[in-house]
Amino acid sequence: MKKAVLLSFISFWSILNLYGQQRVMIKDGTIITTSGKVNSFQADILIEGNKIVSVQPNMKIPDNSTVIDASGKYIIPGLTDAHIHFFQSGGLYTRPDAIDLRYKRSYEDEMKWIKANVDDLLMRYIRCGITTVVDLGGHMWNFDVRSHAAEKTLAPRVFLCGPLIASYQPAALTTDDPPIIKVNSVEEALGLVHQQVEKNTDFIKIWYVAGRGVNPEEFEPIVKAIINESHKLGKKVYVHAYELDETVKRALKAGADVLVHSVRDKKVDEEFLRLMKKNKVSYIPTLWVFNSYQSVFKKQLDLLPEEHLLGNPEITGSLFEMYETEPDRLPERILKMQADTTKEKPSPVILENLKAVQQAGINVVAGTDAGNIGVLHGPSLFHEFMLMKQAGLTNREILISATLNAARMLGQEKLLGSVEASKLADLVVLNANPLDNIMNTSKIHLVIKDGHIFYPDSILRYSPEDLARIQLNAYNEKDLDAFLSVYSDSIEIYNFPDELRIKGKEEMRKLYADFFSRAGNLHCQILDRISYKQYIFDKELINTDIPGRERFEGQAIYEIKEGKIVKVWFVK
């Protein structure tokens, strides 16, 4: 029986992947444009192999074609996350230079986990409709990840560089193969440039920071030398710089091609905008990462339901382990953050700067800085979209930033970024119009990458333990919609063994909405977990500020069928 199921699964994937080598006709879809004055139009799309060969209405279906009915659907180019880091997981233990919890999880163990889960990470990007990612620096093994992704079907296109050439090097990230390397001379810097060019790096990245003993003016000659040499070698230079006068303008005057973060210390001025336009510099705002660290450290994390469902639940769960971290192991800086109960929100300066850059006609490119603490690989792009909308960009401007503008930044606009004949067949078919609501980009019917067709349920398959983790993470955040999303509509909850407490999701919604509203400082910690077939057995420690229920232990048994939790037993 197991062999038959395995063969059936292999055959299913074989059929899907063969689509990439055949003709595929997408009929009667609404094409969302990323250039020109027309926002959308009705048409068919003919794909042969990995290329779009025709986009026009009422095409005759060629012989031997696979037909996809897209009536009532919306078709966009594959999305790009233009700022990620493979060397970071997005979890609590991934940046010991920001919060040193190596007594709980060593940096070596963190790196081992990341390397062992690269395929999972790549798959989650495709599940989110992200068919291209841009890794902006890491260990030299980054180049191995690019090669690995290029050989896989279920993986995005990868553009990347090696270690960041930096004015400062975090000691906690220093290994035999460090992701960030401080250089003290032009010679050292150019040596790193040539080392990466030998690996056919897609670009060079400079980490140009002020403070921490760094004098930006003294480092400026090194920045100029890196940019000049990289340009001679045909490589663009991406620059990490935050401070308008100290680092950003110096980088622009030196010839930087891309700013990988927002200017965050003050409002941008006319000189900045003039330099950006004159040099055709792209601007990646990375709005979410400027709040993600503080949101996690202050125990105020507020993820989207999509992040709970599509991010790696083990990594998401680690973020809530902040509640389990002993205060005497935290630095004074983080204790002061936690003492400030003000709700974290985006800086008005950063939002205003993005709006000013967009209005100036500068190439704005969506990127998340995924891998940093709280910024999950894959679905954090939807979080970024939400904040870009808050900054005042239109839905279409946001969509263009993650498609055609990203392709322009990469010099790939002839192949990617729009739904046109002769371009690569990287497409996302949506169930709702992203021009009505940019969050509709997460309502995915199917993804096509390089001509290969992937339906969401075939990309991401939840194990019973995954579902238990997702509901626990959402419980700890008190995200009612994400919490309920993994439960069956006919859920039954019992006091063990057979006293029925709740029947049906609507009754469950009412009871948990009331509980979440009353339970401040709610946190559930798993003390022990056993997974057996379709059952999960959890021993839990729950903390709340409800009088009489401040701290108690419990046991729960979850039964999972067909990708949903169908029964729960609470054992007293």
- How do residues 146-156 score in pLDDT, each as one tens digit? 999 999 999 99
Q: Domain 464-571 belongs to what topology?
A: Nuclear Transport Factor 2; Chain: A, (3.10.450)
CATH for the 2-77+418-459 domain, from 3.30.1130.10, 2.40.50.140, 2.30.40.10, 2.102.10.10: 2.30.40.10
The three-state DSSP-derived secondary structure of 480-512 is HHHHHCCEEEEEEEEECCCEEEEECHHHHHHHH
- Tell which residue, 49, 10, 46, 21, has the closest CA to residue 31: 46
What is the percentage of the chain residues whose pLDDT exceeds 70? 96
Tell me the mean pLDDT in the region 561-571: 96
Q: What is the pLDDT of residue 294?
A: 96
pLDDT, one tens digit per residue, over 425-456 is: 999 999 999 999 999 999 999 999 999 999 99
Given a cut of 60, whether residue 13 has pLDDT beyond it is no
Q: What is the pLDDT of residue 441?
A: 98
Q: What is the pLDDT of residue 20?
A: 40
pLDDT range class, residue 22, cuts 50, 70, 90: confident
Q: What is the pLDDT of residue 21?
A: 53
Q: Which amino acid is at 452?
A: H
Q: What is the pLDDT of residue 12?
A: 46
pLDDT range class, residue 2, cuts 50, 70, 90: very low
Given a cut of 90, whether residue 549 has pLDDT beyond it is no
Across the chain, mean pLDDT equals 94
- DSSP assignment of 220-250: HHHHHHHHHHHHHTT--EEEE---IIIIIHH
Tell me the mean pLDDT in the region 517-534: 94
Tell me the mean pLDDT in the region 30-47: 96
pLDDT range class, residue 520, cuts 50, 70, 90: confident
Domain extents in the chain: 2-77+418-459, 79-104+124-139+156-410, 464-571
The CATH number that domain 79-104+124-139+156-410 falls under is 3.20.20.140
260: exposed, middle or buried (C-beta count within 10 Å: 0-12, 13-18, 19+)?
buried
Q: What is the pLDDT of residue 521?
A: 87
Given a cut of 50, whether residue 4 has pLDDT beyond it is no
Cα–Cα distance for residue pair 258/240, rounded to 1 Å: 9
Residues 6+ apart with CB under 8 A from 26: 44, 45, 46, 47, 68, 70, 75, 427, 429
